[in-house]
Amino acid sequence: MKMERRKFRIGELARKIEVEQFVIRFWEKEFGIKSKRSVGGQRFYDEKDYSEFKKIKELLYVKKFTIAGAKEELKSIGLGHEITIAPAIVEEQPKKLRFVPGKIAEQMIDLQNKLIKLRELL
């Protein structure tokens, strides 16, 4: 007999980790975590997701990492997700962003220039 893994809804997960639900949604977006969804669109999480969110909370709240630093730490321990940026107006393939500490300022300037060009198109 196969046992199904325990699943949590967002409210239960937030209570277990002791954060608000909006924090879970924010971390999903920031850390590129894809939650499983029901047919109605409700989020579901399993024990693996719980462990990952718990680690994110530890890095941010206890060890005082920045979000960028926490992403790098998660990647180094094998829990990180690459963030995919979908193209908006320009027809090109989605790009994988990888933050390298020495290049963050350079990447931010590049992003700022792209946003200025986008604003000019609107």
Q: Which of 9-18, 51-60, 68-77 has the lowest mean pLDDT?
A: 68-77
Q: Do 73 and 95 belong to one domain?
A: no
CA angle 55, 2, 16 (to 5 degrees): 25
Average pLDDT over residues 72-92: 59
Q: Do 64 and 95 belong to one domain?
A: no
89, pLDDT greater than 90: no
Phi, then psi, of 105 in degrees rounded to 5? -60, -40
115, pLDDT greater than 60: yes
Helix (H, G, I), strand (E, B) or coil at 82: coil
Q: Do 33 and 89 belong to one domain?
A: no
Q: Do 15 and 74 belong to one domain?
A: yes
- pTM (2 d.p.): 0.59
Q: Provide the residue range defining the domain that includes 97.
A: 83-122
Q: Do 13 and 33 belong to one domain?
A: yes
Average pLDDT over residues 90-115: 66
The tally of domains found in the chain comes to 2
Q: Do 20 and 57 belong to one domain?
A: yes
Question: 34-58 pLDDT, tens per residue?
Answer: 888 888 888 889 888 898 999 999 9
Q: Do 1 and 38 belong to one domain?
A: yes
